[in-house]
Amino acid sequence: MSGLKLFLNKCCPYCHKATIVAAEKNIPLEVVEVALGDAMPDWYKKINPNETVPTLQAANLCTGATTEKFIYESNLVAQYLDNIGAPAGSLMGATPYQRHKVEFFLSQVGDLVGAAYNLLRDPYNGERRQFLEDNIAYIENIIAETQLAGPFYLDERFSMADVVLLPFLARFKSVLPYYTGFDLFSKAPRMAKVYAAGMKRPSVTRDLLSPREYIAFYAKFVPKDFPALAAQGNYILYANKFCPFADRARLTCALKGIKPYYIETPIHPEAPWLKYINFRETVPVLVTPDGEIINESQLVVQYLDQVFPNQGPRLLPLGKADDEYDIQYFVTCAGNFFGAMYGFWQNNSSKEAKEELQWAANQLVKLLDVKPFGDGPFYGGKVPNAGDVSLISFLYRARVYHPERTGGYDVLADYPRLAALLDAALATEAGKAVYHPKEAYIARFNECGH
């Protein structure tokens, strides 16, 4: 088996099949990296007139001829390597029936792969999304026929079915969420089981690249005018500049100097594609460079604070029981304040609604007066913490919507401690960057009622 040469591209999932088999069978290979697309060299096109990768260059082992031969097509390359590595053909199963099941799987999985690529080419196409879901369900059912207690397609036995599937799972796990919001495993527990087991196998992980590298590689399949493409693999923040919950994430980014790629997302009415990014159709949504999707405003705040602990103020000191509790309780009270304020806006002549708002405001003032994080205008003392971030946008709405939505009642005038916190926030560079003049919010409210 000396002198085997594998022409591949390290990002390509089809090539990954060959390297997995070579690692499983301990077959030494000379690897030659080949550029794809327009950059593919002419010398390689002569070797492989199909202009595809991988290509295996080998001596003709069957005839004993010394002339070299070229093996094309990824599945055939993988099976060829399986046959020349001891024990020959072992990845195709231990019995004729297992081999049949593996060959059947190989004949069926192509539609799943094609459906994923088609969705990348039109990320918000509902029919293509459904087609991918249908193919996932189909492959799940096929795996269910052979996967019992073990993690792989043939249960405990690692086979060519896993070899063919895993390179795509490893890439689509991050690529599909990043560009399309599609979670490959949300309705595919058996494929998730194969993936998890595969990621523990050295033959699979040896040649894996990072999610960020795969996201960059697959950008060529995405339409050039697709908004997420312009993020170039950076963090993406889907938000709306008039949503107070989205402002929590925007304010966090401004405070900590984080610069995600921003996509303004229509709400009330919601953009038709928002349901693909977040099935709850709410903002903010943060998509990470690893293709992870983070939802819910305060959870986005906490995530960013954990990932960027040394940028800007630390907003939530995790692991410090008392501090974490104090901040989380303040966040809860901020939510109560917004709920009471919104209820009051809906019926600003109601005595009960006004009293509920006053009670919620008073709860916040009591917590601020304790000064658990030291003197200063914020709950965090001299600098904002996650409690402040949770509240500031609500306080700003209380100010800009008075008197238009308040029936003449100014809650901030009654609670100057809250007004002082808001003023301190608006005086920061972050506050200046996030919030709009009053007129913009009133115009937005007159336009859509929110």
* 186-211: b (≥16 Cβ within 10 Å) or e: eebebbbbbbebbeebebbeebbeeb
Rounded CA separation 435/430 (Å): 9
211, 334: one domain: no
- Asked if the model's pLDDT at residue 1 lies above 80, the reply is no
Any domain includes 152: yes
Any domain includes 42: yes
Q: Contact at 8 Å (CB) between 341 and 391?
A: no
- Asked if the model's pLDDT at residue 66 lies above 90, the reply is no
What's the pLDDT at 59? 75
Per-residue tokens: 5: 């040469």
448 pLDDT band, cuts 50/70/90, is confident
- Asked if the model's pLDDT at residue 237 lies above 70, the reply is yes
- Asked if the model's pLDDT at residue 67 lies above 90, the reply is no
- Asked if the model's pLDDT at residue 331 lies above 60, the reply is yes
326, 443: one domain: yes
Any domain includes 24: yes
61 pLDDT band, cuts 50/70/90, is low
Any domain includes 248: yes
Report which of residues 95 and 62 the model is more confident about. Answer: 95
62 pLDDT band, cuts 50/70/90, is low
- Asked if the model's pLDDT at residue 323 lies above 70, the reply is yes
Rounded CA separation 315/297 (Å): 14
Rounded CA separation 25/28 (Å): 9
Q: Distance of alpha carbon 60 from its chain centroid, rounded?
A: 46
Q: Which domain holds residue 187?
A: 96-221
Q: How many residues does the chain have?
A: 450
308, 289: one domain: yes
Per-residue tokens: 393: 């946008």
Any domain includes 292: yes
Residue percentage of the chain with pLDDT more than 90 = 95
What's the pLDDT at 447? 86
* 241-271: b (≥16 Cβ within 10 Å) or e: bbbbbbbbbbbbbbbbebebbbbebebeeeb
334, 402: one domain: yes
Q: Between 438-448 and 386-400, two packed helices, what is the crossing angle to 10 degrees? A: 70
19, 49: one domain: yes
Backbone angles phi, psi at 358, to 5 degrees: -65, -40
301, 341: one domain: no
Long-range contacts of 133-138 (CB under 8 A, 24+ apart): 133/187, 135/111, 136/112, 136/184, 136/187, 136/188, 136/191, 137/187, 137/188, 138/108, 138/111, 138/112
Q: What CATH number does residue 212 fall under? A: 1.20.1050.10
Query: What's the pLDDT tens digit per position in 152-193?
Result: 999 999 999 999 999 999 999 999 999 999 999 999 999 999
Query: What's the pLDDT tens digit per position in 2-50?
Result: 589 999 999 999 999 999 999 999 999 999 999 999 999 999 999 999 9
Any domain includes 240: yes
Any domain includes 342: yes
165, 72: one domain: no
380, 426: one domain: yes
Q: Distance of alpha carbon 398 from its chain centroid, rounded?
A: 34
Report the relative pairing of strands 236-239 and 261-264 from DSSP bridges. Answer: parallel
Q: Contact at 8 Å (CB) between 395 and 418?
A: yes
Query: What's the pLDDT tens digit per position in 342-386?
Result: 999 999 999 999 999 999 999 999 999 999 999 999 999 999 999
Look over the chain and give the mean of its residue pLDDT values, rounded to a whole number: 96
330, 443: one domain: yes
Query: What's the pLDDT tens digit per position in 96-124?
Result: 999 999 999 999 999 999 999 999 999 99
Rounded CA separation 84/61 (Å): 8
104, 171: one domain: yes
128, 158: one domain: yes
* Domain total of the chain: 4
In the chain, the N- to C-terminal Cα span, in Å, equals 70
13, 100: one domain: no
What's the pLDDT at 65? 56
Any domain includes 228: no
What's the pLDDT at 450? 66
Q: What CATH number does residue 72 fall under? A: 3.40.30.10
Residue percentage of the chain with pLDDT more than 70 = 97
Rounded CA separation 207/209 (Å): 7
Tell which of 34, 62, 84 closes a domain: 84
Q: Is 333 helix (H, G, I), strand (E, B) or coil?
A: helix
Tell which of 291, 312, 333 closes a domain: 312
| Dihedral sign for Cα atoms in the order 252, 257, 261, 266 | positive
- Asked if the model's pLDDT at residue 404 lies above 80, the reply is yes
- Asked if the model's pLDDT at residue 317 lies above 80, the reply is yes
pTM, whole model, 2 decimals? 0.93
Q: Contact at 8 Å (CB) between 29 and 36?
A: no
Tell which of 33, 63, 84 closes a domain: 84
Average pLDDT, stretch 181-206? 98
Cβ-based neighbours of 124, under 8 Å, separated by 6 or more: 180, 272, 273, 276
Report which of residues 64 and 249 the model is more confident about. Answer: 249
